Structure formats: C-alpha cells, structure tokens
Amino acid sequence: MPIPTYQEIMLPLLRVLGAANEELHQRDCSQRVAEALNLTEAERQERLPSGSQTYIHNRCGWAGWYMQQAGLVEKPRRAHLRITDEGRRVLGSNPATIDNDFLATYPSFREKVIEARPRTAEDDNLPTADLHNAPAVTAAASTLTPTDQIEQAHARLDQTLVTELLDLMARMDAYKFEHLVLDLLVAMGYGGSRAEAAKVTQKSNDEGIDGIIHQDRLGLDVIYVQAKRWQSTIGREQIQNFVGALAGKHASKGVFITTSDFNSNAVTYARTVQHKIILIDGQRLAELMIEHGIGVSTVRTIAIKRVDSDYFEDA
C-alpha cells in the first residue's frame, strides 16, 4: 500500500498520543503509527528521494506540526509530542477524519497556517472573503507535506536536466563523449587526478576499448571502459564483444556506458559472465553527471533551515 499522506496520518497519530497518556518522542510516534496502519517493514523503511528521512517519520512529523497549530497536540520539549485537552475532546467526538479543512475551523490554525502563508498568484485572483473562508484553497489542502513538495520539485528539475544532457550528448563528437565519460569516472573518485588516472585510447586500434582508468590512485588495478553514444538499444552482442576485448587485455573489470539503454538479454548476459561488468544507461549516466558536477553548474542554492532547539534550552 502507498504510504498514507500526512493528513491521513493526523487521526491515527492523535489516537496514538491519546492512548499513550503521556508525551512521546517523535520516533516512538512514527513507530506506533506505522503499527496502527499495518505498514510493512519495507514501507516503514521507504525514504524520501533525498534519503534524509523515512516517509513515515517525515509525515508523522508534519501531521503533528499541523495539529499543534490548531492546539490538538503540544510539544512539551524537543522532539516530543503530547495530546492536549482539546485533542482529547476531539477524539471523544469520534471524528471520521482529521485533515487541514478540519483544523481550519480553529482560529489559531487559520492565523498561523492560512493567513501567515505567502500569497500566490492564485490568491491574487480570489476575493478577500474566499481567502478567509475557503480552507480547501488556503489550508495547504495538498496531500503533500512541504518537504514532499520540495523533493518533488527537485526531482522534476533534475529530470528536465537529464533530458537536456541526453540531448546534448547525442550531438557530441564520439571522441569528446569518451573524454566526458572518463571525466565523470575521475569525479566519482577513481584513480586520483585526471592526468594520472585515465586516458582515452586512440581513435584507431583501440581493440574495442574506448578508455582506461585506474581503480585507485596507485594504479593497482585497471578498469576498461566502453563508451557508446548510441540512439539504439544495446544488445547482448555488444556486451559479448566488450567481454572479448577485456579477455584480450587479460582484464577482469569493465564499465559499459551508453547514452541509450540495454535490452534484457544484454543485462542478463553481463550478470552471468565471470568478468565484473557494470552497465550504465543514459538515464543513470545523466544522473551521475548531475550528482558529480560534470557538464552542469549550480545556478542557485537554497538553504532549508529549522529551529535550533539547543539555542533556546536555557532561555
């Protein structure tokens, strides 16, 4: 099952806090909510694209924060939550659900969440009365947490960049593409500096090898590289030829990189041969370029900040 949204988690979280009858660490909240929702271990371990948190922990945190703004829960100390008297009253009314529209009935929530949020272009087209009386529009009605929205926006930007990189590489000179591949491998930590770690083979007599890179800075082991700037899918035949080229060099390791992709026969064959063959398709190639700063530059850096609780502990 998909991980419930933070709004779907609000009522289970409030029930967990009500049953505990004491403050709970947010980590314990996440665990108990996951149990109440019958999430599998795999679902409990599923992480945000950034890898910073699990989805369930992140969404429990936001569910608690939103209910805190309405006064249903409180944070008695750092990273702990506790149900309030109002939260118990709400539980006693046996609500079918708790979401942002429900929380928007509380003046404190409207003040802290709805009216405090930055106005958008959509808001400018709404009558003033609608801004105050339409929770579905103004109460962050999206099922995504702010963290989810940032993660998804970042993923969309990266995928757009992947598409642009693949388009540019498709029009590159083949020899320059081979240099790009080795630049990437060096940036990933293979062999030290570009000068001492890698070289592109001659355009002729390369015997099926496009590049050579040291696995470590001392050159104790060598990895051979095949770089194909292709549009068509790579099949088993091309991988077999590469394996033959490695055998001719008495090599055991190779990386086959392409701007296209590999069919299932190629992938299966690469897994079964005794040589260690790594296949990198166009999507993965572009993602690695973005991750290691090859062919891309940073336009803007946004720092996401949070309250430093330690600073205020003695206040």
Query: Per-residue b/e over 54-81, b at no fewer than 16 CB within 10 Å?
Result: bbbbbbbbbbbbbbbbbbbbbeeeeebb
State the CB neighbour count (10 A cutoff) for residue 152. Answer: 13
State the CB neighbour count (10 A cutoff) for residue 217. Answer: 13
pLDDT at 149: 83
Average pLDDT over residues 150-172: 89
CA distance 63 to 82: 13
Average pLDDT over residues 125-150: 54
* Bridge partners for 223 per DSSP: 213
9 pLDDT band (50/70/90 cuts)? Answer: very high
Fold for 165-292, please state it: Trna Endonuclease; Chain: A, domain 1 (3.40.1350)
Q: E strand or H helix at 278, and its extent? A: strand 276-280
Q: Are the C-beta atoms of residues 55 and 47 closer than 8 Å to each other? A: yes
202 pLDDT band (50/70/90 cuts)? Answer: low
Is 171 in a helix, a strand, or coil?
coil
Residues 6+ apart with CB under 8 A from 89: none
* Out of 73-77, 173-177, 198-202, 259-263, least confident range: 198-202
State the CB neighbour count (10 A cutoff) for residue 207. Answer: 11
CATH 3.40.1350.10 domain extents, the chain: 165-292
The average confidence (pLDDT) of the chain is 84
* Bridge partners for 24 per DSSP: 81
Q: For residue 299, which phi and psi values (nearest 5 degrees)?
A: -90, -40
Residue 59 has pLDDT above 70, yes or no: yes
312 pLDDT band (50/70/90 cuts)? Answer: low
Q: Note the residue count of the chain.
A: 315
Q: For residue 52, which phi and psi values (nearest 5 degrees)?
A: -75, -35
Q: Provide the percentage of residues in the chain whose pLDDT is more than 90.
A: 55
Residues 6+ apart with CB under 8 A from 47: 53, 54, 55
pTM across the whole model: 0.65
Residue 64 has pLDDT above 90, yes or no: yes
Q: E strand or H helix at 239, and its extent? A: helix 236-248
Average pLDDT over residues 15-39: 96
